[in-house]
Amino acid sequence: MFESPGAPPLGRLRILDFSRVLAGPFATMMLGDLGADVIKVERPGGGDETRGWGPPRDAHGEATYFQSVNRNKRSLVLDLTSPEGAGRALALAEEADVVVENFRPGVMDGLGLAYEALRERNAGLVYCSITGFGAGAGARLPGYDLLVQAVGGLMSITGSPDGEPQKVGVALVDVLAGLFATVGILAALRERDVSGRGQRIEVDLLSSLLAALVNQASGYTIAGVVPGRLGNAHPSISPYELYETADGELVLAVGNDRQFGALCEVIGSPELAADPRFATNGERVANREALRDALVSSLATAPARDWARLLTDARVPAGVVNDLRGAFDLASSLGLEPIVELPRADGTAVALTRNPIRLSRTPPRYRSAPPSLPGWDPPSLPGWDPPSLPGWDPPSLPAWDPPGWDPPSR
């Protein structure tokens, strides 16, 4: 049940975002969706690197990659290596609640924007640094998602046992690091409500990946098991993988004995549930290949979608492998409204994936499309008063203060 919308939960937060590419921008977009005022600082010339990462591009020639993680922000182009640009950034940081950056460790120090320098001017500042391998011995290592998937072990457990290691089909480590950064920022802000003091948050891609390996990681840390690639199979559950049918693949995700018994009934092989080799999950895992052969033999008698429908009706987790069109169509058919359209200043709109968080009283809001370069864009967004910045005097941008804005104690 959803109530009448209230003020956005983060509506009083000012976030200065120096991050680029994916992890940091993903985090600040999540916070922007929840009402935070996000100013994205970009370099002169080309801005965020992902503005040039195409195809695909939209009808305006804008890279869809950049647009995926930069809604509910406005862009400010600053040359941070110049005294004027650094001065403007410093003035913004003095009034910010949160700073997010993902430069190589040491870069912000050289720009005069390190946490130690900023906290002297803004004691309540929450300062989040996202790196590839931390600020210690790994500080000089480049933090790219593919590299971390490789050296962090994810590729070693992804792919066919007889094939080469595989990366995940999206920059998942960056997304995970962005989520961890978001949690850290919110935790630090909540603590600031009590203490009045900010703090530094450090999130690195390698640690984010290791934490997200969950059961595979604990199998190693607790039992010393180094897992290998199992294709689509699960190391601890069976049947829990992809199976061939009369016309394509079907996913089965059977998690308990009741579901297994129902599966056997639906596919017309009730004797499998009584077979001692398959009586328990442990036995099914130990006899995975024999079980697979028996299931494939039965599943070959009908198409994948028919099996998915019949098994779902029997409360057995099963489904076909959708492409992205099929995935969005499924979400739409379930009433999940996966796409939101954000208006652009020229009267067009951009369609983006909706924030998955649903709050009954203060839901995410979609105020603006990803910003274009250069400058403050769009000027109608709430935020700091730009004329207060040194050397900044855009006459077309009016001063604005959020209704009821009361800066938190520092």
pLDDT, tens digit, 9 for 90 and up, residues 27-60:
999 999 999 999 999 999 999 999 999 999 999 8
Best CATH choice for the domain 14-213+340-388 from the list 3.40.50.10540, 3.40.710.10, 1.20.120.1230, 3.40.50.150: 3.40.50.10540
Binning pLDDT at 50, 70 and 90, where does residue 5 land? low
Q: In angstroms, rounded to a whole number, what is the distance separating the alpha carbons of residues 135 and 30?
A: 25
Question: 165-184: per-residue pLDDT in tens?
Answer: 999 999 999 999 999 999 99
List residues bridging with 351 in a β-sheet: 341
pLDDT of residue 380: 40
All residues at 6 or more sequence positions from 371 whose CB lies less than 8 Å from its CB, including other chains: 40, 70, 73, 74, 75, 377, 378
Known catalytic residues are 174
Please give the Cα distance from 69 to 18 (Å, whole number). 14
Q: What is the pLDDT of residue 402?
A: 31
Does residue 407 surpass a pLDDT of 90? no
Fold identical between 14-213+340-388 and 240-321?
Answer: no
Confidence (pLDDT) at 396: 32
Residue 333 has pLDDT above 70, yes or no: yes
Q: Distance of CA 365 to CAs 66, 108, 328, 361, Å?
A: 19, 31, 20, 12
Using CA atoms, how far apart are residues 347 and 220, in angstroms rounded to an integer?
54
- Supply the pLDDT for residue 345: 85
Mean pLDDT of 118-136: 97
Rounded CA-CA distance 6/158 in Å is: 44
| pLDDT greater at residue 378 or residue 321 | 321
Q: Domain locations in the chain?
A: 14-213+340-388, 240-321
pLDDT beyond 60 at 186:
yes
Which range is least confidently modeled, 325-329, 345-349, 368-372?
345-349
Q: Report, as an integer, the average pLDDT of 100-127.
A: 96
What is the rounded average pLDDT for all residues in the chain? 90
Residue 328 has pLDDT above 80, yes or no: yes
User: Is residue 383 predicted with pLDDT exceeding 80?
Assistant: no
* pLDDT tens, position by position, 204-252: 999 999 999 999 999 999 999 999 999 999 999 999 999 999 999 999 9
Class of domain 240-321: alpha beta
Between helix 205-212 and helix 214-223 the angle, nearest 10°, is 80
Task: Please say if the pLDDT value at position 390 is more than 60.
Answer: no
